[in-house]
Structure 1
C-alpha cells in the first residue's frame, strides 16, 4: 500500500507537470507516453502468440503522433499528414520479408490495432491543448482532473455502497453504485473548473465530465477485457503498485477522442 501511495504521488506530480510546463513539454511528454503505451501493448500481444513487428509499429506510431502534433502548431502545413499513409504501408511491406510468419495478416492487424488503441487517443488528448488555436493547458488539465475524480469517486462509492455489478464478466469489482458515484463527483469537479477556467460554460464542463465518466469507464472495461483475453493481470510493471501504463490510461484511451470531438463541435458551431 505504501509503495502504491508513493508511486501515485509522483505519478500525479509528473502528470500535472506535463500540462503546466508549456507546449513543448506537453507535446514531448505525450509523444513519449504514447510510444511507451504502444510498446507495452505490442509486448502483451507477443506474449499471447501473434508477432506484430515492434519497431515498425513504434516508428509509425511516432510519426502518427508527430504528424498531428505538428499540425496543431502549424495548421496550414499538411505535408506530414500526407506522408503518414506511405509510412503505414511499411507495416504491410515489412511482413513480406518475415521468413517465419504463419499468420501475416494477424500480425498486420495487431500492429495497426496497437497504433489505433494507444497512439491515436493521445493525439486527440494532445489536440485538446490547442482546441482554441494557441496552446492552453486548461482543458487538458481539466480532463485529467475529471478523469481522476471519476476513478476516485467510483472506487470510494463502490467500495462503501456497491451492490449491483456493472459488468461482472470483465470487471467483477465495478458496480452501478460506483459508476453513478463517479459521475456525481466528476460533475462536482466540473463546477469547480468552471469557476477558474471560463473557456467552457458550466453546462459544457458538466457534459465533458459526463463523457469522461461514461467513456472512461468503458475504456477501463475494454482494457480489462483485453487483459483477460490474453490472461494477464497487469499490462506491465512500470508503475510499482499500479501496474503498467495501459492500466493507468485505459480511461483516457476511449474518452479522449470523444471529448475532443465534442469540444471541436461546440467551438465550431
Structure 2
C-alpha cells in the first residue's frame, strides 16, 4: 500500500510538471508515454499466433508523434502529418516477406496497437493546442476531471454499490459507482472555469460528462483486453499500479472524443 501511494504521488507530480514546463516538454513527454503504452500493448498481445511487427509499429508511431508534435508547436502545416501514411503501407508490404501463417493477425495487431495505445495520447497532446496556441489548462483540467471521476466512482461504489455495471469484465464496478464518478467529475468541472478559464462553464461540464462516461468505458475496454489475454497488468513500470495502459485506460477513449467536442466549438 505504501509503495502504491508513493508511486501514485510521484506519478501525479511528474504529470503536472510535464504540463507546466512548457509546450516542448509537454509534447515530448506525452508522446513518449504513448510510445511506451504502445510497447506495452505489443508485449502483452505477442504470442505464437500473433506477432505484431514491433519495430515497424514503433517506428510508425514515432513518425506520427514527431509530425503531430511539430505541427502543434507550429513548425509544419498539418498537410505534412499525412507523411505518416507510407509507414502504414510498409506494415502491409513487410508482411509479404515474413512468411507467417497468419500475416493479417500480425498486421491487425500492429495497426490496432497504434490506434488504441498510441494515437489517444497524440489527441491528448493536441488538446494543449486546441485554441491555436499552447494552453496547459485544458489538458490539466482533463486529468483533474479524470482523477475526480475515478475518485468519485471508488467512493460511491464502495459506499452504495449494489448493481454490477459489467460483471463479466470488471466484477467490482457498479452502476452506483459509475453515476457517482460522473457526478463528482461534473462537480469538479463546475469550478474549473473559475480557476482555469479557457472554456465556458458548460463546456467544462460537458467535457466532464464525456470523460466520466467514456473514461469508465475505456477502463472496461482495457480490462476486457487483459482478460482476453489472461494478464493481470499491462506492465510493471509503475510499482503497485501496473503499466501505462493500466494508469491511462480512461484516457484512451475519452481523449479523442473530448478533442472532437472542443474542435467542433472552434
Normalising by structure 2, report the TM-score.
0.97
- Determine the structure 1 residue equivalent to 2:124: 125
1:65-104 alignment to 2 at 5 Å?
65-74=65-74, 77-78=77-78, 80-99=80-99, 101-104=100-103
Cα deviation, residue 78, structure 1: 3.7
2:34 is aligned with 1:10? no
**Residue of structure 2 in register with 1:141 after alignment:** 140
Q: Are the aligned partners of 2:42 and 2:52 in contact in 1 as well (CA < 8 Å)?
A: yes
- Cα distance in 2 for partners of 1:12, 1:102 equals 44
C-alpha separation in 1, matches of 2:30 and 2:50: 27
Q: Find the counterpart in structure 2 of residue 244 from structure 1.
A: 243
User: Is the CA contact 1:165–1:174 (under 8 Å) kept in the aligned structure 2?
Assistant: yes
Alpha-carbon RMSD: 1.3
Higher mean displacement: 133-142 or 155-164: 155-164
The reply on whether 1:44 has 2:44 as its aligned counterpart is yes
Equivalent position of 2:258 in the other structure: 259
Match of 2:214 in 1: 215
CA distance in structure 2 between the aligned counterparts of 1:123 and 1:179, rounded to whole angstroms: 27
CA contact (8 A) 1:164 1:177 kept: yes
Task: Kindly report structure 1 stretches of 4+ aligned residues shifted beyond 6 Å.
Answer: none
Structure 1 alignment gaps of length 5 or more? none
| Conserved 8 A contact 1:48-1:230 | no
Rate the CA distance shift 1:153–1:48 in 2: closer, same or farther, 3 A: farther
Alpha-carbon distance, 1:18 to partner: 1.3
Q: CA deviation at 1:28?
A: 0.7
Query: Matched residues in 2 for 1:60 and 1:130: separation?
Result: 23
Q: Provide the secondary structure at the position in 1 that maps to 2:46.
A: helix
* Cα distance change of structure 1 residues 87 and 47 upon mapping to structure 2, 3 Å threshold: same
Secondary structure in 2 aligned to 1:187? helix
- Range that drifts further, 181-190 or 136-145: 181-190
Structure 2 match to 1:21: 21
CA–CA separation in structure 1 for the residues paired with 2:123 and 2:207: 14
Deviations 1:175-202 (A, max 9, x none): 0110111111111210121111221111
Structure 2 residue runs without a partner (length 5+): none
Note the C-alpha offset of 1:76.
Answer: 5.9
Of 222-231 and 44-53, more deviation after overlay is shown by 44-53
Normalising to structure 1: TM-score of the pair?
Answer: 0.96
8 Å contact 1:38–1:119 — kept in the other structure? yes
